[in-house]
Amino acid sequence: MKILLIASSQRADSKSLAVAQSVQKHLLNDKADIDSSILDISLFPFLLDHYGTGRDNAESLAQNKAQVLAQLYACDAVVFVVPEWGGMIPPALVNLLLLTANGSANGLPLGHKPAFAIGISASGGGSNPISLLKGYAAKNSHLTWLPLHAIIENVDDFLNQAWAPQLDNRVSQVQSRLSVGLQSLAIYAKQLANVRDELVELSKVHPFGQ
């Protein structure tokens, strides 16, 4: 099973990437039946020009799109690690989600694949990315959101804490939510694998969710 973690900040060496690496280290690397990888959006700057045509960077844009789509098609489940920027999500993530639509992707690379959302904030935020993603990100991508999610407040403090989800404190509770979320994600992915192709073909009949 392949789980793709998407570090959704377009800034290099972001906290989103650090959280994705921490989740991978503590929850996925020791699972023999899971092959995990990280898609760092900051490495694909031309995704911001998703609708650009006839520009000097058209070749780079096409290369970025092809590389990202290959990773999206190859995975069985996806984890979005998303920073809250002024109550919004990064524009590069919006364009990545637009890229997953049937017409843009020549198919549905995330169609009926389970997705787990992690919102992060440098302070006390982090909830808005969850609301925004679950409110509209499935419309054209046809991904399947888990009912679970996690919110990481004060992300610097979180990253500096030892991994101890069994303890009774705020950080440990978030670590526990992450653990339960990733375990649930793997179960969803295993079960949906048997019906995904059939569901994707149905989704293509009305790919824009009207």
Quote the pLDDT of residue 172: 96
Over residues 129-150, the pLDDT tens digits come to: 999 999 999 999 999 999 999 9
Q: Over pLDDT 90: what percentage of the chain?
A: 85
Who contacts 5 (Cβ-Cβ below 8 Å, separation ≥6)?
20, 23, 24, 36, 37, 38, 39, 78, 79, 81
Which domains are delineated in the chain? 2-203 (3.40.50.360)
Per-residue pLDDT band at 64 (split at 50, 70, 90): confident
Quote the pLDDT of residue 177: 97
Per-residue pLDDT band at 16 (split at 50, 70, 90): very high
Residue 101 has pLDDT above 60, yes or no: yes
Gap between the Cα atoms of 76 and 48, Å rounded: 25
Per-residue pLDDT band at 52 (split at 50, 70, 90): low
Do 140 and 102 contact (CB within 8 A), yes or no?
yes
Quote the pLDDT of residue 45: 85
Residue 161 has pLDDT above 80, yes or no: yes
Who contacts 51 (Cβ-Cβ below 8 Å, separation ≥6)?
95, 98
Gap between the Cα atoms of 134 and 115, Å rounded: 10
* CA distances from residue 95 to 24, 46, 47, 112, 156 in whole angstroms, order as listed: 25, 10, 6, 19, 27
Mean pLDDT of 15-28: 98
Q: Which helix (H) or strand (E) holds 149?
A: strand 144-152
Helix (H, G, I), strand (E, B) or coil at 117: strand
Closest CA to 19 of 120, 98, 136: 120
Per-residue pLDDT band at 74 (split at 50, 70, 90): very high
Gap between the Cα atoms of 28 and 70, Å rounded: 21
